[in-house]
Structure 1
Amino acid sequence: MVVGDIATQGERFQALLSWRVPRATCFFVILCLVAALVLYVTPFKIVALVGGMFRMRQPKFRSKMPSAPSNFFRKLPSKADMML
């Protein structure tokens, strides 16, 4: 079951890069370019500090809804979805 879940995640990542979902691929490429630019301009210590502070924020500031990137990734097609 765990191997099947890992395979599903791999298929979703492949769908993201293989133009099966052109809108998602375009969004992913633009996001990667922006992230590369930010990481190039900003020192790594600051990125790690901001990421750590965001990850360890108080529970009252956390949302019960799933994050937008994980929700976006879950909606990508996989071959398991096609088999049903």
Structure 2
Amino acid sequence: MSILDHYQRWQQETVDPIVQRFPERKETFTTSSDIPVKGLYTPEDVQGDYEETLGFPGEYPFTRGVQPTMYRSRFWTMRQY
């Protein structure tokens, strides 16, 4: 079964029944820069160059955190921007 098949099954069997009972607050969720945010991201969303689109922790584009070891060596902190 492919990732897409698993995603569709998850959407139909797990997400849809919950959303019917508890609708999402908004039709579309976005970042503070108005970039749409999907409900779930899968490996299908980064099929291109792994290092360019996702990268490793501690390296640009910092999608996996700014510290290479994350919270294992430093406490997690929340910062405002």
Q: TM-score, normalised by structure 1?
A: 0.32
Q: Which has the higher strand share?
A: 2
Give the TM-score taking structure 2 as reference length.
Answer: 0.32
